[in-house]
Amino acid sequence: MDALKSLGAREAISSRGDGKPPVIIRGPLKGGYTELPGINSQWLTPLLIVAPLLDRDTEIKVSNLMEKPYIKMTLDWIERCGGKVENEGYEYFRIRGGQEYRGYEYTIPGDWESACFVIAATAMIEGSEVTLMGLDTRDVQGDKVVIDIVKSMGAEVEIKNHGLDGIRVASTGHLEGIEIDCRDIPDAIPYLAVLGTAAKGKTVLRNIAPSRLKETDRPATIKMELEKMGAKIELRENEMIIYNSRLRGAVIDGHMDHRIVMAASIAGLIAEGVTAVSDAQYHIKSFPTFYSVIKGLGGNIMRVEEL
C-alpha cells in the first residue's frame, strides 16, 4: 500500500487500520519512485507488470531481494509481451512509462512447484519409480532444484533432453539429511520438512524467513502438524532443523493452505496408520489433480467430506 501511494494512487489504506485486508485502493497509478523490502517477491511482481503501462517512468529500489527466480520469471513474461524493464542486479528497476503490451503465442511449461510433491513422495517411498513429463530443466522456475535436492539426498534421477522427454525419479530406499538454502524456493519448505523426516540424520533448511509470509507462517505450521505425527523439528527465525523421525498417522489441520495440505498428505503416505487432513479442498489452488495423480500412482488416498 505504501508503494502504491508512492506511485500516485489517490488512496491505499487498510479499512481496519491494521495493514491487512479489507483494503481500499483508488487509482490511477501514475509512476514515480518507490522502495520495497525484498523478503517477498509478490510485492514487487505486480508493480513490475503494471509499470510499463503507466504515464510516467517508474523507479523501484529493492533491498535484499529473495525469491529471485520469481522475479526473473516476471521479467521474462514482460519481455515476451513486448515490455522493457531495466534491471540493475535485482536491486534497482527502471521502467519507462507509456509502453504497450502485445499478444503472443507460447506454450507454458510444466509447474515445478506441483511436481515437487510427486518427486518428494517418490524419493521417500521405497520401491517407487515415476517419470514426469512436461517439465523443462532450462526453465527459470526456482523449484527445479528439487531434482538436485533429492539426488543429493540419495534418490536416483535421470533427465532426458532437459526433461522434455521425461524426468525419471526412483527411490533407493535410503535418504541422507543435507543442508538446503531455501532463499529462492520459499514454497518448498513444507515438502522439504516432510523429506527431512524420512532422511537419516538431520536436514537443515536455511533462509526460510520468506516462507513465513505466505498463506500461513509455513515453517511454524508444518512443524506443528508434523509434530502431531511424531516428527522432531527445531525452528528458529530463519532456520529449520528436521531430524529423522518415524511418522505415525494423525488428524492434521490443513490451515486452508494448499501447500500444507499437500505436504501433510504425502507425509501420510509414509506414516504408520491413517492420516486425515482437513481443508483438503485447498489443493485446487495450485494442483487441482493432486489427489487423482497420487491415487493413480498407487497412493492409498481418498477424499472424504468430513473428518
Hey, which residues are catalytic here? 187
* Cα separations in angstroms, 46 against 71, 140, 141: 10, 18, 18
* Cell numbers representing residue 49 in the block: 507488470
* Cα separations in angstroms, 252 against 95, 204, 255: 46, 23, 9
Sign of the dihedral through C-alpha 113, 120, 187, 203: negative
Angstrom distance (rounded) from CA 205 to CA 240: 5
3-state secondary structure of 242: strand
Contact assessment for residue 143 and residue 112, using Cβ atoms and an 8 Å cutoff? yes
Strands (E), 64-119: 86-88, 92-95
DSSP class of 281: G
Contacts of 107 (CB under 8 A, 6+ apart): none
